[in-house]
Chain A
Amino acid sequence: MSEQSTLTYARVNDDVIRMLDKPTFKWWALFIPTLIFVGFGLFCFIHQVYSGLGVAGYRHPIFWGVYITDFVFWVGIAHSGTLISAILFLFRANFRMSIYRIAEGMTVFAVLTAGLFPIIHLGRPWNFYWLFPYPNQRELWVNFKSPLLWDVFAVSTYLTVSALFFFIGMIPDIAAIRDRVTEVPRKIVYSILSLGWKGSNWEWLHYSRAYLFFAAFATPLVLSVHSVVSWDFAMSNLPGWHTTIFAPYFVAGAIFSGLGMVITLTVPIRKIFHLEDYITLDNYDGMAKLIILTSGIVGYAYAIEFFMAWYSGSPAEWGQFYYRATGEYALFYWIMVVCNVLIPLPLWFKSIRRNIKILFIVSIFINIGMWFERFNIIVLSLSHGFDPAAWGIYKPSWVELGITVGSFAWFFMFFLIFLKTLPSVSIAEMKELLPVPRKEAKT
């Protein structure tokens, strides 16, 4: 930790709490455009509710398009946040400490964004609550055997648990802010949020236990959520979807895309808020290694899908994959392969893993590549099913693209608010990394 030698406990408090100062012009310059795009997304949605789903590009045989792509994309983005905050916590990987709060915030906001899409996708979105099992006048219950219902349970559990985990991790840090701020309204809000935290050994004892259990719950949960999302597809009998590799393939892809998003988000934050002492090159090195691993798994999945399609001897299955690489959507397929498999390859070199600029550019390509991966899986399978008479082409409409852009703005809006209201770096955990103050050197 030589790079952190200039840090002291007091400086950690200063630096993190300084980020919560009054928003600057730059912050507003980012925030106002995000609000405008959120407004545009909302306008598109209202237009769609008013006019019906016809304004989305849905045409027979494709009735799952950009909205479901966005849903899977955003759930995937969420996953690496939990990986960094929970799984790496269980493995005691210290490189997580400075970035995990940002990654966790990303998780919560990405799930919030993802959760909108199944509702946007509904023909009658005002009836979305029919998805929840509740006693109703028809005495009907939901179908627990449907993968779509598993999704409701998985995603809502994920949102609840990751939001709680996010909040619990922040309690000691919110107390530190409470102790520092002087303006009365802010002091009241932070006092309530800190739940009266004092940092006594009694509190730390229970807190540490509870945090460990949350991490232990979040770990299998995160693996289950994207597996369940993958079963939305794999459980149905359609070429390109009906395969057993989907769960691990989706989980690896989710972590891969999420790591890309963590890098995309942290690089500018590190620069703007001068967090070079906190988010170090070692942190990026660690994340880049995870990208190499997950990119490898994703690349393997792309290859094995082709092999299985050929080996199965099923003309429909082979036809689907041949279509992916050579059909109308071939450009999208090859964008996916280049962005997800080839572009991350230079990260095998240490000098590139520690080059922030290159890493940032690679991360952008990963985001693009992973969006196209979901598009390819969903749309291409639907457009080229068993029956050649029912093949078709789907083009996203401006409404769908508007809502997609709006969803990115919606995500960044929460993120910008988070940066100015809550501690983006864990104060208490950063202190654990620093040498403990001792009067006499420990023998």
Chain B
Amino acid sequence: MSTSWFDQAIGLAAGVLLLTSVLLVWKRSLAAAVRSLAVQGVALAALVAVIGIYEGDPQLVAIALLVLALKGFLLPWVLDRSRVRIAAVREETPLLNTTASLLALSLLTMLAYLVSRPFLTLAPGPTSAAVPVGISLVLYGFLILTTRRHAISQLVGFLVLDNGIATVAFLTSGGVPLVVELGASLDVLLVVLILRVLTSRITAEFGAADLDDLMELRD
């Protein structure tokens, strides 16, 4: 198994991860966001699988399958259902307009690139070279969380954040034990389910899933 094949595959998976997150910010349609998220999940699974195959670690491959099932299919499906149920079409008025968010993305990428310097100098190699992508994902997730108003977008942001953390974890430690990953995945699933219930409740209460309405609860 040649290293250049490995390089290419890691590079491609990392590229798809980045591209899907850019698309997430670019498109205001929630359906497109959920689709991009699904693709991102698949890319993450592919990344894990590539590392697993390269290192000949069956446990990593099993984790890859788990990630694929959970992030590639289950979570997007859950999200999509709740999107359909509350009939949400698009993110109407994000706090930061699309153009500015996109420019913010490029700055965040740069930041990610700068802060990941220690990883790159410690262990040069294709896996650590893709670490900035994971950190970018974390930052993008935060950006989405802080600037989008719709509850579904919030979930999307949260999942991007989680994908980012997972990416960094797999790239730097060469994988986490199956049990830990299983636990983490279940946590995420649980959070998403709870948030989904909350979203439905917000919609039922206010007739919209705009989180700014929650401010009214303060009184």
Task: Report whether chain A binds chain B.
Answer: no
Q: Which B residues are closer than 8 A to A by beta carbons?
A: none
